[in-house]
Amino acid sequence: MSVLRLREFRENRKLSQRDVSKVMEIKQASYWAWENGKASPSPSQIIKLCKLFKCTPNDLFGVKGHYQAAMYLLDQEE
């Protein structure tokens, strides 16, 4: 699984890992593991994170940037 942009979103909201873990109703160590790519949230937890951070799953996974880069490479092949 690609690394989530959790730290970026959390820091932009000025939240600590403890703050997010309380909202998510998980242990702080579990949230740390998500943020460091050691574990992954479930689909329902991803939705909850998106609501907390006011973003889409695509934003959270950084999909837009990958999509734009792929489209640029395709354009270069023509």
What average pLDDT does the structure give for the chain? 85
Tell me if 1 is assigned to some domain: no
* 55: containing domain: 6-77
25: domain CATH number is: 1.10.260.40
| Residue-wise pLDDT tens digits, 33-69 | 999 999 999 999 999 999 999 998 888 887 765 555 5
Tell me if 19 is assigned to some domain: yes
Asked whether the beta carbons of 11 and 25 are under 8 A apart, the reply is no
Q: What is the pTM of this model?
A: 0.76
Total domains in the chain come to: 1
Asked whether the beta carbons of 39 and 49 are under 8 A apart, the reply is no
Tell me if 59 is assigned to some domain: yes
In degrees, to the nearest 5, what angle opens at C-alpha 44 toward C-alphas 40 and 46?
Answer: 50
* Residues 70, 21: Cα–Cα separation, whole Å: 34
